[in-house]
A and B are shown apart, each in its own frame.
Chain A
C-alpha cells in the first residue's frame, strides 16, 4: 500500500496569498515544503509575521493554499470542497489553540465529548468513559463538570488537549498552546503533550515562540518571511 509508505502529511511548494487579484494582494507563504511522519513531535518557530499561523491553518485545512500540493496520508487535498475538508479534519486532526477555545456553555467533560457527539449524534457510554479517562490523564478528574469559566488557564488548556486527543487523531496541531500561560502551567502543559505523544504515538506540530519549548521537541522547523529557513532535529538546533 502506497498510503502506508507515504508520510502522514506532505507539503510541496505551498504558496498562500491573501486578497488574490486585488491591489493589496500579499503572498504570505512562498513555496513551503516539508513532511511529517507518524509519531513525530515537531516545533514550528519563527518571528511574528513569518506566516506560522497561516501555515498551521493551511495544514489544519482551515485555509486553502493558493498554489502547490498538500497531501494527507497520500491524498491530495487541494481539490476538496468544504465538506471534504471538514471530513478530513475530523478524521485526521486535533486542534489546540492559544486561547483554549473551549465552548463556555459546555462543561469540561461535555467539551471533550463534543467531537464524538458531532460525528455520531450521540455519545456512547464507552466514549464517555474514554473522555473521563482522558480528563483524568490530564489531571482533571475532580473538575470534569465545571464550566471553562470556573477553570484556570492551565486547566482549560489541559481540557483542550484532552479534547484534541480523545478520538486519537494521527496529528495534533497546537498554535502557541502555552503562549497564554505562566511558566509553571506552561511547563505542565508541555510535559503533558509529550506524555500523550509517548503514550498514544500521536504526531504533534506545535507552533511556539518559546525557544525553551522548541528545544524540547524532536524536530524544529524555522519559518522566516514565509519560507523555511531551517528544518533540523532538535539536538542539531541546540548545537
Chain B
C-alpha cells in the first residue's frame, strides 16, 4: 500500500491537533468544504481518485456525472459517512469526523427516509429530539421550518399521507432543523416528476437565500445543476475524477423560473453537456 495520507506530525498546519483552534484569518476565511487528494477504493474498485475540491462559504455547488462516477460517494466522504482511503476532508476548517460529531451539516437523500410512525412535525423534530433539545423549543422550530417549506398545515399528518414532493420538503426541513451551515443533498429531487422538481428547485434557492447556508448538491440532471448552482463540478466515471468545473453566471439576483428561458442559461447547459460528453470521449 502506497498510502500518501499525512501523519499528524508531518504537517503541523493541517494535523488533527489543530482542528479545534481557529484557522488563520478567522472562520469567515475558512472554506466551507476542502477536499484534498481524496481517494476511495471499495475492494479492487476505485470509486474516487485524487479528488481536489474547495467550496467557499455560501456557495451552491452541484456534483454531476454519469452513474458510477462516485458523486454520491464524494458527498458521503464530506459527510463522514464513508471514510476516504487516502487524502483529507475538512468541513468548515474541522476534520469531517469532527464536523459530523458537531452536527455542522444537514443531509437529505433521494429517498426522503421519513419515519412512518412519526408525524410530519415529529420527523422534523427528530434530530433535535435526538440531541436533547427540549419539547417546547422543538415544537417551535418544527413549526418555523414547516412554514418555510410551506407545509404548516400538514404538521400532524403522517408521511404516507403526503405526496413525494411534500415528503422531500419535509426531509429538507429536517435537514435544516439544527441550523447547519452546510446542506448536503444526494439527488433529493431525483424521484420526482418534472413539475414538482422545478418547483422544489426554486424553493431550495429561496431556503438557501433565507439561511445563507452552503449547499453541495448531487444530481444527474444538467438543467437542474445549472439552475441551482454557482459552480457545476463535472465528474468522470471509473475511476471517479473531477473532469471539469463549470462556473454558472446567471446574475446574482435571485433566480426564478424565467431564468430557464434565458440565453445565458442555455449557454451554461450546453457548456456542462459538453464537459459531460468529454468524460465519455475516450470510450
Are both chains from one complex? Answer: no
